[in-house]
Amino acid sequence: MAAGSVALTGLAACSNGSKDSPGQAASSAPAGPPLAIIAPAADSTGLPVSAEIEAKAEGGELTSVKLVDDKGGEVKGEFRLDKSSWVPSDPLEYKTTYTATVVATGTNGVTSTQTATFTTMASPGKRKGAVLWNGDDVVYGVGMPVIVQFKDNYTIDKDNRAGVEKRLFVKSEPHQKGAWRWVSGAVLEFRPEKYWEPGTKIEVRVGWGGHPLGDGDYGATDITAKYSIDDTAREMIVDNKKKTMVAMENGEEKKTAPVSLGKPSKPSFYGTMVIMEKLRKTVFDSSTYGVPVDSPDGYKTDIEFAQRMTWDGQFIHSAPWSVGDQGKRNVSHGCINVSRPNAEWFFEWANVGDPIQVLNTEEGVTEGNGWTCWNMSWEEFLKGSALPPPTV
């Protein structure tokens, strides 16, 4: 059957094995819905190995796609939720011919079948790598976004972002509507409309292997991860007016501790942030961001129980030297100072991905200085996507 045609099954009503009986009209079996494969085009060549199968069925529903290579091997895949295309589970092979067989079923239960054959491109020379910040088999807090970043500051221009974003897949169980947002041409983040439901199971696929990125560049390889969200919803709320940090667990107050925040010359940022990493022991050195250790604002200090909130170095951490100030005044360089026992308690209690709200300080956290996606409304977040808002 030629690609682009519609498969119809007909059977004439015959008499005596020849002509129709006098007065008897010819009849045929009911036809399936008109079906056409939109992409790839029949006999097309040089396709990227990220190719998807797109088809339309008028008055019916796409029910299956079978994709086989030129050796008869079947490719695994599945429909997108809206059935706009059928997506192979892995990149296709380079310089390989495939045949797609698409089946649609009409409201009368009758099927139509359509086929198309196409050939993929040769392996490209210019491939660009990326990093998925979310790891396999990790338990994260309810505020954990999905973070994807290109290596070596490689950036995607705006004309190519929609196609690239479309190759990013997030599955959640239970299902929660979410969206991607471009923090920059090199970084994307995904979040649901509200915090993840406790206990959610998540699968992420960065389907960029062999996908065109623009200017003759292609994605190096697919990246995948499977992880989960903690069964307990944890959140920290820091109030500069009260000089306290409250641990909230499943919406109820679990613990309150006095804090000292950033002094007026180096205020702690207000806004909603996310715990990015946890360091049992580390060293804070002002010279790493250009302030000499021996200057009035310089320091080099051993730190315990540190939990990062921003890229530029605001942490929750143990600060035994400021216990007398905690709950009373702000003396830090922007970090949230707590006593050693309280720092250890919060360190053991919290997860990477737990949200933390800081209230009533002098300066807001800037976009992208950490995982700041919860610091904006859902409507504002959606504006950063290169695709229309999700409907499924």
Span 230-263, pLDDT tens digits:
999 999 999 999 999 999 999 999 999 999 999 9
The DSSP secondary structure of 125-192, one letter per residue, reads S-EE-EEE-SPTT-EE-TT--EEEEEGGG----HHHHHHHHTTEEEEEES---EEEEESSSSEEEEEE
CA 389 – CA 379 distance, rounded (Å)? 9
Q: Write down the CATH number for the domain with range 234-361.
A: 2.40.440.10
Residue 123 has pLDDT above 70, yes or no: yes
- Proportion of the chain above pLDDT 90, given as a percent: 84
Q: Residue 292: what pLDDT? A: 76
> What predicted TM-score, i.e. pTM, was given to this entire model?
0.86
Mean pLDDT, residues 329-348? 97
CA 315 – CA 275 distance, rounded (Å)? 9
346 φ, ψ to 5°? -65, -35
Q: Residue 304: what pLDDT? A: 97
Q: Write down the CATH number for the domain with range 127-231.
A: 2.60.40.3710
> What are the residue ranges spanned by the domains of the chain?
35-120, 127-231, 234-361
Residue 355 tokens read as 């949200």
Q: Residue 14: what pLDDT? A: 29
317 tagged catalytic? yes
Of the candidate ranges 29-38, 138-147, 224-233, 335-344, the one whose mean pLDDT is the lowest: 29-38
Q: Write down the CATH number for the domain with range 35-120.
A: 2.60.40.3780
User: Which residue is catalytic, options 211, 333, 335, 373?
Assistant: 335
Residue 145 tokens read as 């976004």
Kindly report, residue by residue over 257-294, the tens digit of the pLDDT. 999 999 999 999 999 999 999 999 999 877 776 777 76
- Number of helices (H) and strands (E), helices first, in the chain? 3, 30
At residue 16 the predicted structure's pLDDT band, cuts being 50, 70 and 90, is: very low
Q: In 3D, which of 235, 143, 228 has the Cα closest to residue 194?
A: 143
- Asked, colleague to colleague, whether 35-120 and 234-361 share their fold, the answer is no
User: Which residue is catalytic, options 211, 317, 333, 373?
Assistant: 317
Kindly report, residue by residue over 341-354, the tens digit of the pLDDT. 999 999 999 999 99
Q: Residue 7: what pLDDT? A: 30
Q: Residue 260: what pLDDT? A: 98
